[in-house]
Structure 1
Amino acid sequence: MTQRTFADLHHADEPLLLPNAWDHASAAALAAQRFPAIGTTSLAVAAAAGLPDGAAATREQTLLLARALGSEPFHLSVDAEGGFSDDPDEVAEFARELHAAGAVGINLEDGLGPVDRHAAKIAAVRAAAPGLFVNARTDTHWLGDGDGTIHRLDAYRQAGAHGVFVPGLTEAREIAALVRGLDGGVPLNILYSPTGPSVPHLADLGVRRISLGSLLYRRALGAAVQAATDIRAGRTPGGPVPTYEEIQALSRDTGGAADATVSFE
């Protein structure tokens, strides 16, 4: 485990760039690239199980992934959708299980549901698992037009959220205004978009955490399909391909993320 705590990484000189993994190999490969913290992505967890994302259908799969990654030498933050329940006590119990598995962070989304209900979930998680960094996500830009963002974030901050997350917000002026509106109270997390501001630009705007969400998983899936169709068409597929031995080196029995060196040249 790195010397800095997960919370410390949100207040460092540079914003925390958080890549999101979907299994042990993807997490270990990212850790081998010296990312100190790695998140999970609920879309990939759901897709791998043939289930819909955001439908509270993958509680067990999410917990299994946390148990697979929680003992690895990186900070693990888990995308827990809305906590897989509307009952704050049930969400708190899930948070306890994640923390016991080794997770140090949890991402909870409001899905534009009632503010008070999401705030109650946050407060319950803080009480049940004080060691978890709670990143409170609002979907005002993801599912709506941005109305009420500050109101929701203020409520979540008062409930005990350590950080706040606004996916779907990509306009630089709006991001800067939101940072000012938060007035330094909690670190702002933004979802990286290839069509939005770059990482250095987001840093200049005052963003403290930049998540990649499902982007890496979707690119990996796209690359796999492209390679298969290229081969079928008689073309040689392009792009980096780790060797069999490099992937084997990612397993726990060979040291996992601690010692692996994966080449993507």
Structure 2
Amino acid sequence: MSNKWKKAVSALTLAAAAFSFAVAAPQEASAQVKGHLSKVQVIKKAPVYTNYKKGKKTHKYLKKGSVKKVKATATDTKKKVWIKVGTKKWIASKYTVVITTTAQRKAKSSSITKAANQAAKAANKATQAANKAAQAAKQATAALTTNQVNQAASSQAPAGSSWQQSRVVSLAKAQVGKAYVWGATGPSSFDCSGLVQWVYKNAVGKTVSRTTYTQVYEGVNVTVSTSSLQPGDLLFWGNAAAPYHVAIYVGNGQYVSAADEQQGVILATLSSYYWPTVARRLL
């Protein structure tokens, strides 16, 4: 396979990826979510309070999986984040994950158009390059003997991305001990999906979307077993289509995770009592 052909295939892949993930424009690293919160999803049964300032606990709860529009957000004296979901209805942010922000919603339409145009241009250039590369490859292959073909195929086999895996693992482990803050995307604090986005961006320059709901569709699916997992793989817990938590596998049955407000970013070991439901490979 010639270098031209490889470049053509890479261009086609990038073009398709640009269109597929156009709607998942990532946020820049920040200690808070950019833009006012628009919607959140409840990840476990959440008690409802009348107010975030020493409010009375009602007898009502929000069901796991329910989606709520955010009326307002506030931080109490203990620095806990609260979300207003209705009149005299407040819930703690630790029971939720961010689905969208108003900033993301406003940018979505223009992002789709811009990415689609870029993808179309890239696809057109890639097609032209692929046609030229295919012709060159055909001519080059005809001139090779059987031994030369075998040798060429061997030399062009993927060398893997162990250096990328190593950088992702090293940077992920370096975050252990930092604080968990709901909606945070680094570098001093993270939530689970914010940690994944920040590590991949700063370790290998790879853009990853912001939430578990979009990250679970990136890369390729991997069997969730210690024999199949590789360092850098993403592990997800919960519903396969809408997981509530994500972590970075670092090898030897361990993973790095922005767990919760009490634990922060931790290095943990896989357990049969808390086994991931999905794994994805981005490298």
Q: Choose 1 or 2 for highest CA Rg.
A: 2
Q: Same fold (TM over 0.5)?
A: no
TM-score by length of 1: 0.21
More helix by share: 1
TM-score by length of 2: 0.20
More strand by share: 2
